[in-house]
């Protein structure tokens, strides 16, 4: 009997992805909880000899060296992010994207992303899908996982610093795990961005009784149970958004999805948890110390503190270990917890698999044929 060599796969454009549930944030938070647990257990693989590399990036020169070659600029890159995830997923995949801040002048997102999902044994494609929403929702869901295990159960007030897409999905994730939230404060650099965020939040969450603009980051942080900071900034800690100790209320959960600097007394009295400690340690191997001066994510600052002896590795905690039960979550209502969000390709694999399975079940997507019989085998 001849083997069946035919390979079909499905293509999912962005409307298909939406119909297949890519914006289902409660389900995404559940999936990301699975991911961080599997990551902590080691049931995954990513790029590089240690299996922890974020991916492979194409860099461009500062000045044109050949006709037509792109030159370096803000967020000017191409990157491939491959991964395998075990558990109930058992698939491989790769996110591929090009990024250029000048895209916005064309009415396009800064980054345009695609994702390929593959059979773990044959390598055959299972799906090729639009990935901008896929990436945005898996990224925003991680703060929700952090809040699920680390924020106060009775959290009601959220402070948003930076009203961009990252904090939109983060607020969706906070609402998924703390639905009693009733007050949102928003601080941003541009009025148009703040206005757009508030309009969106009022439409998305009519149950929130107060959504208001505040003057600055201090006002967003003060008296907030959950704080989400996602503000882009130039390289160097002197340029990073700064949080003073006295602004932070007892019991606050501070989620850091971008560059950040904290007053030393706050650093010393807070508890520090990262989505996945090993990913920051892997990044640090590629960057000259102090790494936080180059990559301003809070987890990189923690790597610096461990490497220079100001902190032990045990004080740089891993959320996956808390999810898996080998470490404890919030211990009391006054505990201040700083949570660092970095992002990993295994998260894309998990959410892509969930959406792909929904698409198959619901008959969504366009079936494409790779071959019936390969020309070379």
Q: Each residue of 106-143: pLDDT tens digit?
A: 999 889 999 999 999 999 999 999 999 999 999 999 99
What is the distance, to the nearest Å, from the Cα of residue 66 to the centroid of all Cα atoms in its chain?
35
Q: Which CATH superfamily is domain 141-344 in?
A: NAD(P)-binding Rossmann-like Domain (3.40.50.720)
Q: What is the pTM of this model?
A: 0.93
Q: Where in the chain is the domain with CATH 3.40.50.720?
A: 141-344
What is the C-alpha separation between 127 and 117, in angstroms, rounded?
Answer: 5
pLDDT tens sequence across 296-334: 889 989 999 999 999 999 899 999 999 999 999 999 999
Cβ–Cβ < 8 Å for 51, 167: no
Residue 77 pairs in a beta bridge with 99
**Which tokens go with 319?**
């959320």
Q: Where in the chain is the domain with CATH 3.30.1780.10?
A: 7-134+346-371
Cβ–Cβ < 8 Å for 254, 147: no
Please report the pLDDT score of residue 238 as a whole number: 85
- The residue-averaged pLDDT of 268-273 equals 96
Residue 190, classified by CB atoms within 10 Å of its CB into exposed (0-12), middle (13-18) or buried (19+), is exposed
| Nearest of 227, 217, 177 to residue 194 by alpha carbon | 217
Alpha helices, DSSP H, located in the chain: 14-19, 25-41, 132-150, 165-177, 191-204, 217-221, 264-269, 277-284, 298-307, 319-324, 345-362
Cβ partners under 8 Å of residue 282, min gap 6: 48, 50, 52, 53, 54
Please report the pLDDT score of residue 137 as a whole number: 96
- DSSP letter for 36, please: H
Cβ–Cβ < 8 Å for 181, 175: yes
Strand 77-85 relative to strand 56-58: parallel, antiparallel, unpaired?
Answer: antiparallel
What is the C-alpha separation between 235 and 224, in angstroms, rounded?
Answer: 28
Q: How confident is the model at residue 275 (pLDDT cuts 50, 70, 90)?
A: very high
What is the distance, to the nearest Å, from the Cα of residue 183 to the centroid of all Cα atoms in its chain?
24
Give the mean pLDDT of the chain: 94
Please report the pLDDT score of residue 232 as a whole number: 79
| Nearest of 180, 191, 121 to residue 152 by alpha carbon | 180
**CATH class for domain 7-134+346-371?**
alpha beta
What is the C-alpha separation between 222 and 218, in angstroms, rounded?
Answer: 6
Please report the pLDDT score of residue 242 as a whole number: 92
- The residue-averaged pLDDT of 89-101 equals 95
Please report the pLDDT score of residue 191 as a whole number: 95
């Amino acid at each position: 009997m001849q083997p069946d060599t035919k390979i079909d796969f499905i293509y999912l454009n962005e409307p298909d992805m939406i119909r297949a549930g890519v914006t289902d944030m409660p389900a995404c938070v559940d999936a990301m909880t699975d991911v961080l647990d599997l990551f902590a257990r080691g049931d995954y693989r990513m790029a590089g000899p240690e299996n922890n590399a974020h991916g492979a990036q194409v860099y461009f020169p500062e000045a044109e060296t050949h006709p037509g070659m792109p030159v370096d600029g803000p967020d000017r890159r191409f990157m491939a992010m491959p991964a395998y995830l075990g558990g109930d997923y058992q698939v491989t995949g790769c996110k591929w994207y090009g990024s250029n801040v000048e895209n916005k002048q064309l009415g396009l997102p800064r980054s345009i992303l695609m994702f390929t999902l593959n059979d773990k044994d044959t390598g055959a494609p299972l799906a090729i899908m639009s990935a901008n929403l896929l990436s945005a929702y898996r990224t925003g869901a991680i703060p929700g996982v952090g809040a699920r295990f680390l924020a106060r159960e009775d959290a009601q007030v959220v402070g948003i610093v930076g009203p961009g897409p990252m904090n939109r999905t983060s607020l969706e994730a906070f609402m998924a795990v703390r639905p009693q939230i009733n007050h949102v404060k928003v601080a941003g650099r541009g009025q148009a961005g703040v206005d757009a965020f508030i309009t969106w939040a009022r439409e998305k969450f009519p149950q929130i009784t107060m959504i208001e603009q505040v003057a600055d980051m201090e006002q967003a942080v003060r008296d907030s149970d959950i704080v989400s900071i996602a503000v882009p900034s130039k390289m160097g800690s002197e340029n990073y958004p700064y949080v003073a100790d006295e602004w932070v209320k007892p019991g606050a959960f501070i989620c850091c999805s971008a560059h950040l600097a904290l007053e030393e007394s706050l650093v010393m009295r807070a508890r520090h948890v990262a989505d996945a400690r090993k990913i920051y340690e892997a990044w640090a191997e590629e960057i000259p110390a102090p790494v936080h001066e180059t990559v301003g994510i809070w987890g990189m600052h923690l790597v610096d503190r461990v490497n220079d002896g100001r902190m032990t590795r045990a004080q740089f905690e891993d959320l996956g270990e808390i999810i898996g039960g080998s470490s404890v979550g919030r211990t009391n209502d006054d505990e201040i917890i700083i949570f660092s969000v970095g992002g990993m390709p295994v998260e894309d694999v998990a959410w892509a698999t969930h959406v792909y399975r929904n698409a198959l079940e619901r008959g969504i997507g366009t079936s494409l044929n790779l071959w019936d019989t390969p020309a070379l085998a």
